[in-house]
Structure 1
Amino acid sequence: MSKQNISPQQGRLFFLFILILLSFFVFATWLIASQQRNLLLDNEKQRDNLEFDLIGEFISESFLKNDYAVVQQFLKDWSEKREHIVALTATAKNGFQFLNYTRPNPAKKTHSLKRRVLFSQGNYLDLEIIDDSASIEKIIKKLNWQLLLIFSIIMALLGFILWITLTKIALIPLEREINKRTEEIRQHRDHLEQLVFERTQELETAKEVAEFASRAKSDFLSNMSHELRTPLNGILGYAQILRRDKELSTQQSDGLNIIQQSGQHLLTLINDILDLSKIEARKMELYATAFHLPNFLESLAGIINMRAQEKETTFVYEHNNSLPSGVEADEKRLRQVLINLLGNAVKFTDQGTVTLQVSVLNDTPPSPKQIRFEIIDTGVGMTPEQLEKIFLPFEQVGDTERRATGTGLGLAISRQLVELMNSQLQVKSELEKGSTFWFDLTLPVVTAKTELKSAKTDKIMGYKGKRRKMLVVDDKHENRLVLHGMLEPLGFEVIEAVNGKEEVEKAKEIKPDIILTDLVMPVMTGFEAVQKIRQIPELKGIIIIAVSASVFEADQEKCKIVGFNSFLPKPIEVDKLFGLMEKLLKLEWIYEESKTIEKNSEEGQLVPPPPEEIANLFELAMDGDMRGIRKRASLMEQTPELIPFARKLQKLAKSFQEKQILALIEEFKEKNK
């Protein structure tokens, strides 16, 4: 029977019983042993007394005859024959010692017995016998062992009886519990089929709810994307329009840069959340296209190099000569992965080097090529614990300042995208020494294709040829104003419409050269409007670009099917807009005059500040205080005639051109002498 059948209370009761029984046994043993010892001693004394009587009767006659030798010999023989006698002493009345017998091997434990044997006429003999107690102890020990055996048997029997009793008592609730559980199992068995049926129904319902939730999530993200991109289109659009104003002060220019950067950061966050949602729903798809790999990498290196220069970090781009010209891959997603990895490398490298290495691993003529993309930095590095977390969504490592500049989605999305490309994103890192990220892609080699270059938007003043008509269609007034502000200053005739129905009517009326139209509008959508326009013979060849806050590939594919020439996502990037127009309308842009002419003209109009201000600037320049120089330049911009000088000073201070600043200040310092 297992221990689990005995309850703790019953176990304590059993232990208490054993303890009481053991105590009783010890006490009984001590009591019986004491009684045995006393009885044996009494028996020994009685035996000795009987022998004393016999001795007295025997020696009385010899003693009265004065035959002392016989008495002495008798006592000696008597002592030697009795093994329990250790010593015998016989002393007369006058003190004469008849006998002093001692056995050669005395006992360790003895007891003595004295007796006076009286004779006639007042004579007597004192006898003292010393007995060996060992014999008595042996008898007592033997009796004790017998007693112990008896008590052990009794205790074992009582313990066994008690154990059986307790076990039986313990089995009573156990039997009840077994009966209860048996009944419960029977009930469960009876209801099992019903429960399985109900669970099946619940799972089917849960599946329907999950599918509905997934659709609701997609709808929500779609609406969220549209609703957030619409105001961002106005913010970023007007930031780009205002930055084209050459009369902006440094403070105004810096403010517009902040607006632009903040808007781009929010846009990146929106895109990352959408991408992560697509990946989790397994709806992310790659669209492979042929592109020029060297130009792609050079363009990417230029973007990262500008970021690195802002932090005084060195950026290096390395590639081997066997890099193919044309490859086939999802250019957009590959760019996204590399910008994420390189951006992180620059962010976490305050001083040092960030390197992009692109190499061909299998340098063999047949297609495809296995290409390794490797990003190496000498930044802060990571601990093994941090390496385990960096690919988790919304997980960030590093100090608080760096965490505040990211969303924690870049690496999670990058890893998923690389896996969609049939590769693995690898990483190794050492704290305070830097990190290395790399992945290998197997890309088909195709014929190199010339890429569309972005227009030089900062210098475009207009275009050559006849004036072009442009129809801008959007139900949001602010979105129409953004396109109006971007295009009308360049000489385009901009006509507006607020829905698809007006779009069709005005397209028939004015026959525009190009239509920029939103997709989701009241009355009639952009899709419906384009379908109608393509059915009108005189408008079949008109160029139509979709301008939409939707970034789902399904909408872009639908645009191609319906008849759009291209797709431009909101917020609108002016360089992409002008690049598309240049390609589709075959425009030839008119740019501003060269920087050399502008520079010479600007320097010819420089008006220096007062001598005391020149002295202050000279001290700041000698200290290398570029921030202080920029602050003084901002104050000077409040004086109209000092604006050219202040802007030139701002430009030099931003790029930390200390020698040129000193040369400029010393030039006017000499003139003031």
Structure 2
Amino acid sequence: MKTNQLPTETAANRSKWPLSRFGLEVNNPRWWFEIICIALVYFAVSWLVAKIIVSNVKAPSPVWPGAGFNVGFLLVWGRSRWLGIFLGTLYLNLHRNWLEVLAPSLAASAGSTIGSLITVSLILQFTRTKYPFNQVHHVVIFALCSIFSGTIFQTVAGITAYIVTERYVWENFFNRLFLPWWIGDSVGVLIFAPLVLTWLRSHQHTPIKSWINWEVLTALTSLVFVGYLSLYDSQPLEYLLLPPLLWSAFRFGAKLTTLLIMLVSMTASVATAYRFGVFYKAITQGDSLLLLQIFMSVIAMTTMITLAIVEENRKANMGLQRANADLEQRVLDRTSDLRQSESMALELAAKAEAANQAKSTFIANMSHELRSPLNAVLGFSQMMMRAKNLATEHLESASIINRSGDYLLTLINNILDLSKIEAGKTTLNLQTFDLEHLLDDVEDMFQLRAINAGLNLVFERDPNVPHYIYTDEIKLRQVLINLIGNAIKFTKNGSVLLHVTNINTPINESIYIEDPSNPKLILNFSVSDTGVGIAAEELSELFVSFSQAQAGREKQEGTGLGLAISRRFVQLMGGDISVTSELGKGSTFQFQIHAQLGKELVSGIIDKRRALALAPDQPNYKILVVDDKPVNCQLLVKLLTPMGFEVQEASNGQEAIAIWDRWEPHLIWMDMRMPVMDGYEATKYIKSTVKGNATAVIALTASVLEEEKAIVLSVGCDDFIRKPFREQIIFDALAKHLGVKYIYENIQHHKHEIDFPSEILLTSENLKVMPDSWIMQLYRASLEADKNIVINLIGQIPESETFLVRSLTKLARNYQFEKLIDLTEPLLSTHIE
């Protein structure tokens, strides 16, 4: 939608419009029309929110749409329409409180007007556009300005005005007044400003052939169904509303998507106000409205970023199409004298290369733009959970943010894995590893989940299955996790069985081979369950991306990518997946991989306890953090400084080189994509010097491409870590490259017993680390043969007692309660009557 541009202010204009320096164009009819529109819209939506939500929750609204409409209208029509905001907010305050509070109403209206102007001015200053939703970094700037600028000012101004006139009191200023008011305004801007901008100014248009088609109906039906379950029936499924919104962003464009975000958010707010839904249930259990506000902010930000990514990709494709058109014309002009067959071959080759390069660029950009913000979300939430003085309510909120970030990272990784496969960028990372240890790890991962579901999880392997094999361990682990996780999810009772066989001739493990071109093993993996089964007509669509069987759709879980990615991984390893199933009786997934024998590995035990500080008597380690994103630098600084490291920052390669030359750090955390000078050039320069060879350089990148690692290592980096990372990975890397030693959370050390049946060596003495009351409970649970209680008691054993945990868990899994009774009885002789 086009709008008239205001003329540049001149002396003649100022004489014609004497109030123009204040933005008052009193002789302009269009200006008056837009002023009245802003005032009426603000009053109408704010009156409705106060009537429907505020009057029911008896507290500030979790979302204030008026703040978003104000910012949106100023971005569309210009900041000179500020008078509409002032009149709308003033009329609302007077309507609610009448003339007895004229002074605070004037002050609050002035605060809202100035706050909206601040927000809009900062958005225009930093994005240089009135529609900041076509690029991901513009969306991030819009969100930061919406939350941390004008909304703070207008909140403080409004509350202060009413406190000065004794309408409010100073008591609980932050928790009861400032925090809900500020977050409500910020959420309102995040949700309603994009709605106004998209419908009044957006040039994006995704035509929908018919509103009665399967895609639109499926998206709307899923939103209504999940919304009913979570926002009315109080089921904790609220974040399953995100996939249909992302679907809308990819398929239906910005206008419909922003409208759906508004409808979902306001439905959640109204349902909570009328005491329905999962958020009202959370409030009754002691949580605040912050969970509802976090939910609305997450769906708004995630969907707007997705819309920006779609627009960036659309523009890139248009540019690629134009480039292809130009290239085709050049080929035709310059090769007119060549044979037609040669011309067509050159044209097709150029197109294929351009398309492949476009896919690679898209994957790299997707990885960087999505994983970099998640690095900050997961990193800072981990640091919040490390704080010992954090309030329980805030600790739970940080935990929710961390879990939601993990879930979002899983979705992103699945989509990026599929994109890498389709772009031909996925390759095998061949290495020798311990197959038995991998199977034990996967079994331990799912055993407690199976026990809690009342299932029997069994892992079997034939005697001729080799101990060490040579193939891609990570992809094999991912396939097993996907298949076993699905089997447990869709099995209500019975068992889940994994059976591994070697279908080649018997193997002599004294001879190992590591030649990818000469496979010597064909291993067969079979995962069977006694679950709900799959209908025959659904089997053909089972491995299609984003497709789910009926049981999966009823569960309302997952993305429909797990089996598709698993099949691609298995095909890369030389095999394929097949499935047999019968409704009501269960399913069996079977796949084969080609591998080779690997030589025996000798690996040390990794200490997984939390590091608290540097051990004494060590050098003063100096660490340089290089990243153009201040939040990423801040994350590493706050993580390393409390541990005892000396840390400095740089925002690009040139600054990094200058600080390195002057300060001589022991190790550099180097981001690879930066302005001015990137991490590749900076690393090359540092490593080209004699002094630089003594400095460890570790690349930190959000790229998921395998070839990126080879490129990074080739320029001189000593190691390669992907964002988002866990704090333990950072500490382990410092220990690996600098020999750093730490003080851990628990200084007791116990031997990890792995390769023999630990329950044989378990004695009553091992149980003395636990209190007598715990031993008595274990004894009684063993007498009653109650496996669930025994497993819960094992969960109370300290993490450092690995040997005891593994031993008791194996006894409980195998229902060997007689052995548990024999172990506990000698310790309870004085307590049993």
CA deviation map 1:634-661 (0-9, x unaligned): xxxxxxxxxxxxxxxxxxxxxxxxxxxx
Determine the structure 2 residue equivalent to 1:301.
443
8 Å contact 2:425–2:706 — kept in the other structure? no
> 1:342: Cα distance to partner?
2.1
Q: Which of the numbers 466, 486, 500 marks the counterpart of 2:653?
A: 500
8 Å contact 1:423–1:440 — kept in the other structure? yes
Residue identity matched to 2:507: T
Q: Which of the numbers 460, 463, 488 marks the counterpart of 1:346?
A: 488
**Distance in 2 between residues matched to 1:506 and 1:308, nearest whole Å:** 53
Determine the structure 2 residue equivalent to 1:261.
403
Q: Which of the numbers 398, 416, 421 marks the counterpart of 2:568?
A: 416
Determine the structure 2 residue equivalent to 1:425.
577
> 1:529: Cα distance to partner?
0.9
- Greater strand proportion: 1
**Distance in 2 between residues matched to 1:349 and 1:574, nearest whole Å:** 35
**Distance in 2 between residues matched to 1:322 and 1:509, nearest whole Å:** 60
**Distance in 1 between residues matched to 2:748 and 2:398, nearest whole Å:** 22
**Distance in 1 between residues matched to 2:396 and 2:468, nearest whole Å:** 40
Alignment of 1:542-621 (within 5 A): 542-593=695-746
> 1:452: Cα distance to partner?
6.5
Determine the structure 2 residue equivalent to 1:282.
424
> 1:429: Cα distance to partner?
1.6
Residue identity matched to 2:409: L
> 1:400: Cα distance to partner?
6.2
Determine the structure 2 residue equivalent to 1:224.
366
Residue identity matched to 1:519: M
The number of residues matched between the two structures is: 407
**Distance in 1 between residues matched to 2:737 and 2:554, nearest whole Å:** 42
**Distance in 1 between residues matched to 2:680 and 2:447, nearest whole Å:** 41
> 1:420: Cα distance to partner?
1.2
Residue identity matched to 1:269: L
**Alignment gaps of 5+ in structure 2:** 1-335, 513-519, 750-767, 772-788, 790-833
Matched, 1:448 2:600: yes
> 1:423: Cα distance to partner?
0.8
Residue identity matched to 1:547: L
> 1:522: Cα distance to partner?
0.8
> 1:532: Cα distance to partner?
0.8
CA deviation map 1:505-558 (0-9, x unaligned): 222222222211110001111111111111121220322211101111121111
Give the 3 Å change call, closer, same or farther, for CA 274–316 of structure 1 in structure 2: same
8 Å contact 2:615–2:743 — kept in the other structure? yes
**Distance in 2 between residues matched to 1:349 and 1:595, nearest whole Å:** 40
> 1:253: Cα distance to partner?
4.3
SS of the residue corresponding to residue 526 of structure 2 reads strand
> 1:384: Cα distance to partner?
1.0
**Distance in 2 between residues matched to 1:382 and 1:250, nearest whole Å:** 44
Give the 3 Å change call, closer, same or farther, for CA 381–331 of structure 1 in structure 2: same
> Larger deviation: 435-444 or 499-508?
435-444
**Distance in 2 between residues matched to 1:452 and 1:215, nearest whole Å:** 42
Alignment of 1:271-420 (within 5 A): 271-308=413-450, 311=453, 313-361=455-503, 362-365=505-508, 368-399=520-551, 404-420=556-572
**Distance in 1 between residues matched to 2:410 and 2:673, nearest whole Å:** 23
Give the 3 Å change call, closer, same or farther, for CA 299–387 of structure 1 in structure 2: same
> Larger deviation: 493-502 or 282-291?
282-291
Give the 3 Å change call, closer, same or farther, for CA 319–244 of structure 1 in structure 2: farther
**Distance in 2 between residues matched to 1:256 and 1:355, nearest whole Å:** 37
8 Å contact 1:345–1:379 — kept in the other structure? yes
* TM-score, scaled to structure 1: 0.55
> Larger deviation: 315-324 or 270-279?
315-324
Residue identity matched to 1:449: L
Residue identity matched to 1:576: I
8 Å contact 1:394–1:407 — kept in the other structure? yes
Determine the structure 2 residue equivalent to 1:95.
none
8 Å contact 1:534–1:540 — kept in the other structure? yes
Determine the structure 2 residue equivalent to 1:212.
354
CA deviation map 1:117-160 (0-9, x unaligned): xxxxxxxxxxxxxxxxxxxxxxxxxxxxxxxxxxxxxxxxxxxx
| Identity in percent | 39
**Distance in 2 between residues matched to 1:484 and 1:306, nearest whole Å:** 37
**Distance in 2 between residues matched to 1:380 and 1:263, nearest whole Å:** 31
Determine the structure 1 residue equivalent to 2:811.
none
> 1:566: Cα distance to partner?
1.3
Residue identity matched to 1:418: V
**Distance in 1 between residues matched to 2:362 and 2:422, nearest whole Å:** 15
**Distance in 1 between residues matched to 2:340 and 2:668, nearest whole Å:** 58
Determine the structure 2 residue equivalent to 1:237.
379
CA deviation map 1:24-50 (0-9, x unaligned): xxxxxxxxxxxxxxxxxxxxxxxxxxx
Give the 3 Å change call, closer, same or farther, for CA 443–374 of structure 1 in structure 2: same
Give the 3 Å change call, closer, same or farther, for CA 236–323 of structure 1 in structure 2: same
**Distance in 2 between residues matched to 1:351 and 1:305, nearest whole Å:** 15
Residue identity matched to 1:266: L
Residue identity matched to 1:436: T
8 Å contact 2:625–2:647 — kept in the other structure? yes
> 1:247: Cα distance to partner?
4.5
> 1:303: Cα distance to partner?
2.7
Determine the structure 2 residue equivalent to 1:532.
685
> 1:415: Cα distance to partner?
0.7
> 1:380: Cα distance to partner?
1.9
Residue identity matched to 1:558: I
Residue identity matched to 1:508: D
**Alignment gaps of 5+ in structure 1:** 1-193, 604-625, 627-673
CA deviation map 1:195-238 (0-9, x unaligned): xx999978976764554344223212211110001110011111
> 1:589: Cα distance to partner?
2.5
**Distance in 1 between residues matched to 2:619 and 2:479, nearest whole Å:** 43
> 1:312: Cα distance to partner?
5.3
**Distance in 2 between residues matched to 1:541 and 1:222, nearest whole Å:** 31
**Distance in 2 between residues matched to 1:310 and 1:576, nearest whole Å:** 30
> 1:412: Cα distance to partner?
0.8
**Distance in 2 between residues matched to 1:251 and 1:348, nearest whole Å:** 34
8 Å contact 1:455–1:579 — kept in the other structure? no
**Distance in 2 between residues matched to 1:520 and 1:443, nearest whole Å:** 37
Residue identity matched to 2:527: I
Residue identity matched to 2:596: P
SS of the residue corresponding to residue 444 of structure 1 reads strand
Give the 3 Å change call, closer, same or farther, for CA 279–561 of structure 1 in structure 2: same
CA deviation map 1:444-477 (0-9, x unaligned): 1122224475542535444342332211111101
> Larger deviation: 341-350 or 302-311?
302-311
**Distance in 1 between residues matched to 2:454 and 2:694, nearest whole Å:** 51
Determine the structure 1 residue equivalent to 2:182.
none
8 Å contact 2:625–2:648 — kept in the other structure? yes
Q: Which of the numbers 631, 641, 659 marks the counterpart of 1:488?
A: 641
> 1:571: Cα distance to partner?
0.6
8 Å contact 2:479–2:566 — kept in the other structure? yes
8 Å contact 1:237–1:572 — kept in the other structure? yes
**Distance in 1 between residues matched to 2:683 and 2:743, nearest whole Å:** 31
8 Å contact 2:426–2:706 — kept in the other structure? no
8 Å contact 1:453–1:579 — kept in the other structure? no
SS of the residue corresponding to residue 457 of structure 2 reads strand
* TM-score, scaled to structure 2: 0.45
**Distance in 1 between residues matched to 2:467 and 2:341, nearest whole Å:** 58
**Distance in 2 between residues matched to 1:210 and 1:322, nearest whole Å:** 46
> 1:491: Cα distance to partner?
1.7
